[in-house]
Structure 1
Amino acid sequence: MEAHVFALVLVAAALHAGWNAVVKLGLDRLLAITLIAGSAGLVALLALPFAPVPDPAAWPWLLTSIVLHVGYNVCLVQAYRTGDFGQVYPIARGTAPLIVTLVAVFLLAETLTPAALLGIALLVGGVWLMSLRGGRDLARMDRSALGFALLTSAFIAGYTLTDGQGARVAGSAHGYTMWLFALDGLAMVLLLLALRGRHAFAVLRPHWKTGLGGGAMSLGAYWIAIWAMTEAPIALVAALRESSVLFAAAISVVILREPLTRWRAAAALSIVAGVVMMRLG
């Protein structure tokens, strides 16, 4: 992975942790994530006139991704209702890069160096260590929150692989991203309308500035990732994105006042070592 791609994916990781923290603050989780998705969709909609229309071969991938993104949003909301941000977030993100790596290597025939594979292993190990020992004890964690967090990982792996392939055949990663976010935002708005009715949007109106900020971070984070997957192996990009757990840990300690433990520090060191090995690889 070239240096500029590597650096931009780290920026994407920080942005991703930021919008997930917005979901944890203030509003009901479904309202918050819909506000962010809808805001991101609005920004993408404004950009559509300037973005290339994806090649017809990309549309099956794009439509599949929208379904997977909606599933991801719903599961993430359910997980955050009962779990610590500092624990749910790493669980939700931690399994996905392992799934993506296995699929990319064995089904998509991507080639990774031993150093890159070791880096992915260290990063995933650090993510899971932070999950198991960084927040509540796993035994005390609500089982439904754990289940939804793991299911969220499956959705993450699914849409990551789908978007990596879709962007590669779309002709333009930028056009693919804008259409994806515009349609995903519409899907989430329609879902909220079906579940909560029109009055839900009146509740969201005073929070439009927060939603716009979170939406911009969400769009920027995944826009970079989708572009990066056209420039580098999908597995490497997927794993490097999970360095967002480091930024999430900082948010959970500084803003959400969740405890900083020795285990979180050890997990952070493992993640950093993984990032370094991936760069060397």
Structure 2
Amino acid sequence: MSTTVLLIVLLAALLHALWNALVKTSADRAITLGLVAAGHCLPALALMPFVPMPAIEAFPYIMASTVIHWAYYYFLNVSYRFGDLSLIYPIARGTAPVMVALGAMVWADEALSLWAWIGILTVSAGIMVLAAIRHADKRGIGAALATSAIIAAYSVVDGIGIRVSGTPIGYVVWLFAAEICVAVFVIASRFDRARNISQRALFLGLSGGVISGLAYGLALFAKTLAPIGIVSAVRETSVIFAALIGVYWLGEGPAKRRLVAASIVAIGVIILALS
């Protein structure tokens, strides 16, 4: 991996952690997540005339992924209601690859290598350290684990959908455009609260969506320039970025245990990705 590609992937990881921090610190997380979905779909709608249309076989996956993303936003909101960024993010992001790997073993009859098992056990150890933090709300941990299961679900759905689409960029653009359904539902169902949102909150929510989309796009672009496994592994440094933001920007603690645990989770996911 060249230095340029490495910097692109690290930037994608930082941006992903950053938009989660914007959600965590927002006054109304539900509305903010609706705006994040809007921040995804508005640029996508503008790009739709200029990208190839996905094959018709991809549209069931786009629809399924849109529904799954609605559940993702719901459980992410619940997670951050009861837990800190440096607690929730490593659990949600770190556990998802483990679930995908174990699911492939059970449902696709894939054999896991020794290094894959080492990665799974390392992630589990890091999550156990996080879960053992004093005063950690078990509701937040449970919601984070549910979020990770949903991340695993849309990862599998999008992985299949993007393959049958015939155009990865077209699939991503149409997928993001479909999130207008999520944005409209979230905002319309909370219209009184959305109507009174400040301009600053509106800007931050939409910016979070643009940042999230940019992070995904950068990671996807990097996978065209370097081996997918290596890009995926480096991308998981977002777990460490989130812990650093939570500890040093949001003042979450105990700092040392959270940083160590997040690092253990990141190392485990990197091992799993490279295996």
Q: Is the 8 A contact 1:126 1:268 kept in 2?
A: no
What residue is the counterpart of 1:128 in the other structure?
A: 127
| Percent of pairs with identical residues | 39
Answer yes or no: is 1:183 the counterpart of 2:182: no
Change (3 A) 1:229 1:71: farther
Report the Cα distance in structure 2 between the residues aligned to 1:229 and 1:166, rounded to whole angstroms.
Answer: 17
Change (3 A) 1:172 1:193: same
- Given candidates 176, 194, 198, the residue that maps to 1:200 is 194
Report the Cα distance in structure 2 between the residues aligned to 1:12 and 1:241, rounded to whole angstroms.
Answer: 7
Please give the per-residue CA displacement for 1:180-217, whole angstroms capped at 9, x wherever unaligned: 11111x12222224421265144154434323321122
Change (3 A) 1:232 1:187: farther
What residue is the counterpart of 1:103 in the other structure?
A: 103
Report the Cα distance in structure 1 between the residues aligned to 2:223 and 2:87, rounded to whole angstroms.
Answer: 27
Query: Could you list the runs of 5+ residues in structure 2 that have no partner in the other structure?
Result: none
What residue is the counterpart of 1:38 in the other structure?
A: 38
Query: Could you list the runs of 5+ residues in structure 1 that have no partner in the other structure?
Result: none
Report the Cα distance in structure 2 between the residues aligned to 1:129 and 1:23, rounded to whole angstroms.
Answer: 25
Q: 1:151-190 counterparts in 2 under 5 A?
A: 151-184=146-179, 186-190=180-184
Please give the per-residue CA displacement for 1:226-262, whole angstroms capped at 9, x wherever unaligned: 567898668x876654431101011112210112533
Q: Which moved more, 1:26-35 or 1:112-121?
A: 112-121
Report the CA distance between 1:152 and its aligned residue. 1.0
Change (3 A) 1:100 1:8: farther
What residue is the counterpart of 2:247 in the other structure?
A: 253
Name the aligned partner's letter for residue 262 of structure 1.
K
Report the CA distance between 1:157 and its aligned residue. 0.6
Report how many residues are paired: 273
What residue is the counterpart of 1:215 in the other structure?
A: 209
What residue is the counterpart of 2:237 in the other structure?
A: 243
Q: 1:43-62 counterparts in 2 under 5 A?
A: 43-62=43-62
Secondary structure of the equivalent of 1:81?
A: helix
Change (3 A) 1:147 1:219: same
Report the CA distance between 1:126 and its aligned residue. 6.0
Change (3 A) 1:204 1:172: farther
Change (3 A) 1:112 1:44: farther
Please give the per-residue CA displacement for 1:139-158, whole angstroms capped at 9, x wherever unaligned: x3334323222211111110
Q: Is the 8 A contact 1:129 1:263 kept in 2?
A: no
What residue is the counterpart of 2:258 in the other structure?
A: 264
Q: Is the 8 A contact 2:62 2:158 kept in 1?
A: yes
Report the Cα distance in structure 1 between the residues aligned to 2:269 and 2:27, rounded to whole angstroms.
Answer: 34
Secondary structure of the equivalent of 2:82?
A: coil
Report the Cα distance in structure 1 between the residues aligned to 2:234 and 2:103, rounded to whole angstroms.
Answer: 16
Report the CA distance between 1:24 and its aligned residue. 1.0
Cα RMSD over matched residues?
Answer: 3.2
Change (3 A) 1:276 1:77: closer
Report the Cα distance in structure 2 between the residues aligned to 1:150 and 1:107, rounded to whole angstroms.
Answer: 20
Q: Is the 8 A contact 1:127 1:245 kept in 2?
A: no
TM-score by length of 2: 0.83
Answer yes or no: is 1:21 the counterpart of 2:16: no
Report the Cα distance in structure 2 between the residues aligned to 1:247 and 1:83, rounded to whole angstroms.
Answer: 17
Name the aligned partner's letter for residue 27 of structure 2.
L
Name the aligned partner's letter for residue 206 of structure 2.
L
